[in-house]
Amino acid sequence: MRDIVEDLNGLNTTMVAISPQNQDKNDELVEKHKLNFDLLRDEGNAYCNELGIVFEVADEIKEIYGGFGIDLPTSNGGDSWTLPMPTRLVVSQDGIVRAADVDPNHTARPEPQKTVDDVKAI
């Protein structure tokens, strides 16, 4: 996604990402992946809950995550084992969602160019 930021800026568009992780984890992510857009914190998945895109991590997945040293409650600063579905929204200046890509399969994501094309279609 960082590769399309300049294209979006040229279209007078701002890209942001939203994560339930605590600020330290978000800062690590920005540094590690050299993100050139804002990564906002959605504490307790509050906003994503409003959007209806949050799911409870299944017990068998919790065990797998544990094997990799992943502890969502610690990373997210709460006691919840919930995550937002990978979602990409294009929102116009009047606050209306003009395009949405949501898929519970975290490996099924649209190509970044689709986001640019969705913005151009507004």
Instruction: Check residue 22 and give its pLDDT.
Output: 93
Distance of CA 22 to the CA centre of its chain: 14
Are the C-beta atoms of residues 5 and 13 closer than 8 Å to each other?
no
Q: What's the confidence (pLDDT) of residue 14?
A: 94
**Domains recognised in the chain with CATH numbers:** 2-115 (3.40.30.10)
| CA–CA gap between residue 90 and residue 30 (Å, rounded) | 22
CA dist 63 → 39, 58, 70, 72, 89 (Å):
28, 9, 9, 12, 31
pLDDT tens series, the chain, 122 aa: 889 999 999 999 999 999 999 999 999 999 999 999 999 999 999 999 999 999 999 999 999 999 999 999 999 988 889 999 999 999 999 999 999 999 988 888 889 999 999 999 99
For residue 85, which of 109, 62, 119 has the smallest C-alpha distance?
A: 109
User: Are 81 and 56 a contacting pair, CB within 8 Å?
Assistant: yes
**Among candidates 96, 95, 71, 82, which has minimal Cα distance to 19?**
82
Query: Residue 30: exposed, middle, or buried by beta-carbon count in 10 A (0-12, 13-18, 19+)?
Result: middle
The pLDDT assigned to 27 comes to 95
